[in-house]
Amino acid sequence: MIEIRDVTKSYGSNAVVDRVSMTLPAGGLTSIIGPNGAGKSTLLSIVSRLMPMDEGQVVIDGLDVSRTAGDVLARRLSIMRQDNHITARLSVRDLVAFGRYPYSKGRLTAVDVEHIERSIAYVGLQAFEHRFLDELSGGQRQRAFIAMVLCQDTDYMLFDEPLNNLDMKHAVETMKLLRRLADDFAKTVVVVLHDINFASAYSDRIVAMRGGKLAFEGAPKDMIEPSRLQAIFDVDCRVHAVGEKRLVNYFE
Amino acid sequence: MQADIKRASPAGMLLVTAALALLSMLAFMTLGARGSWAFILSFRGTKLAGMVLVAYAIAVSTILFQTISGNRILTPSIIGFDAMYALLQTVMIFFLGAAGATAVDPRFQFVIETAAMVGFSVLLFRALFSGGTRSLHLLMLVGIILGGLFRSLSSFLQRILDPNEFVVLQDRLFASFNTVNAGLLGISAIAVSAVTFVLWRLFPTFDVLSLGRESAIGLGIDHHRTVTILLVLIAVLVSVSTALVGPVTFFGLLVASLAWQITPTASHRFVLPIAVCLAIVTLVGGQVILERLLAFNTALSIIIEFVGGLVFIFLLVRGSAR
């Protein structure tokens, strides 16, 4: 369970995250949606201790993230960020192997190697595992970073816009993969998403942010609704029910 | 070329560079030797030990500085270490006079200089380094400006210095591998061993640090603490090399760039020793060429800085500046 209590982060007088409190239960897939500048990525960075908060507290399974030792948290929680710029020239396998650092501190055991191979296979990059990252397409690189998070094998996995740079096929595959993590491996997956239809189709819960504040939260069937979406995004849209799924048409 | 490098194994590359380093050390010790071996070995041995220490200190400090700054064209001199050394020397000659400065025990001088440089860097980190990548950049910018301040201060003092004393000072400020300060070898070796011991314990974190601050934290590294310790260790290594031979700006860049280029992996397990071997080859091998081929007609640092400058421009043009 991730408990976020009165978390605030401001730059000067501008609060990018403004007294946000919420509880994300263990298990399932939670999507965070909202317009640009709503504070979604900042909140995710604070939860994963990449960014210090000005006020408030984040507690993950009873561990206060600002006080717990880094390597203890690294075995509980992993994050994949939006921009992954790396100076070092790494192959896919090198990168994925870093996911085992919290366990092996650089000395890979047979178990670690098994994890690495399974993660690479999971994202379908076996054929590319010895390629360097700068020789891959944007989508392949994105999947390599996802594999690194898989390899870290934590109970909580946070993804900041994992569908960036992905084509339809790989976007769907990635979301199915995240879904499987939640369903088959009982992981708690939190995803920042821009595509509202992916959020609608794949989430157990949707959290909406706007202007640094928590706007709404709930199950997709309650959240995907024209008046709410209007309040969150300022966009007129129509919602169609297709089978059990709700699809949003915001193109007109 | 690219493909060949990829196929070469990192261990093979390490063996090759280590062999070259040994070869140049052997050449330095034996070539053109005439007279008593006991004298030659101890005379050249001191010089060799000094050069190997300097090669090690510069290679390791530059590689680690590049790793924590995530930038392959920086060297520790950017935080103004070289300029600070020059200022310390200038101030000492200015206030004590050439005779007084020469009379000070070099070991005492070394301790004072190292303490001043480490103190300066710690102060800079404490004040400015709050942990983020941005604050690391801020630290470097302030370092550049302070470096400029130190340089102006020294050149001001040098202008009003007695010309005779200025000559003594200038001699100290030109890096010279020919006059390795033998009195400092022992204390430098101790400092370098102590640094190496701490580095050994931090070794597994280096590769993770090269992924950048966020990924390193995500993998459980106490980024702020580790980077602060590393910066202090780098300050000690830079002090050792400047105290032994004087400031060498481009040498570290040359060696580090070559090491990153020829090592087929980004793992520090290989890059660090390869960089050290390359540094030994460049310094010791260069000194052999200087002594045997050019008959001491120039200074090694001039050759190295010339080649280093060319490599620097080459790197910029190739666009590997990131």
pLDDT in tens, A152-162: 999 999 999 98
Q: How far is A156 from chain B (nearest CA, A)?
A: 12
What pLDDT was estimated at residue B320?
Answer: 53
Confidence of residue B130 (pLDDT cuts 50, 70, 90): low
Q: How far is A144 from chain B (nearest CA, A)?
A: 14
What pLDDT was estimated at residue A7?
Answer: 92
* Closest CA in chain A for residue B72: A87
Instruction: Give the DSSP per-residue string, B141-190.
Output: HHHHHHHHHHHHHHHHHHHTS-HHHHHHHHHHHS--STT--GGGHHHHHH
For B217, the enclosing helix (H) or strand (E) is helix B213-218
Region B101-107: mean pLDDT is 78
Numbered residues of chain A with Cβ closer than 8 Å to any chain B Cβ: 45, 48-50, 52, 69-75, 78-79, 81, 84-90, 94, 98-99, 101-102, 105-107, 152
ipTM attached to this prediction? 0.86
Region B152-160: mean pLDDT is 89
Beta strands (DSSP E) in chain A are 2-11, 14-24, 28-33, 55-60, 63-64, 77-80, 156-160, 188-192, 205-210, 213-218, 238-242, 245-249
Confidence of residue B319 (pLDDT cuts 50, 70, 90): low
Q: How far is B94 from chain A (nearest CA, A)?
A: 44
Across the interface, whether the CB atoms of B214 and A87 are under 8 A apart is answered no
Residues of A in contact with B271 (CB under 8 A): none
The SS3 of residue A83 is coil
Q: How far is B193 from chain A (nearest CA, A)?
A: 23
Closest listed residue to residue A191, CA positions, set A183, A202, A180: A202
Integer Cα distance of B303 and B309 in angstroms: 10
Beta bridge partners of A24: A2
Integer Cα distance of B78 and B145 in angstroms: 10
**Between residues B322 and A230, which one has the greater pLDDT?**
A230
B319: left (phi over 0), alpha (psi -120 to 50) or beta: left
* Closest CA in chain B for residue A73: B220
Integer Cα distance of B257 and B170 in angstroms: 29
Residues of B in contact with A151 (CB under 8 A): none
Is pLDDT of B129 > 70?
no
Is pLDDT of B274 > 90?
yes
Residues of B in contact with A50 (CB under 8 A): 213-214, 217-218
Region B224-243: mean pLDDT is 86
**Average pLDDT in chain B:** 82
Region B268-288: mean pLDDT is 90
Is pLDDT of B6 > 50?
no
**Which one of B207, B214, B266 has the shortest CB-CB distance to A81?**
B214
Which parts of chain A register pLDDT below 50? none
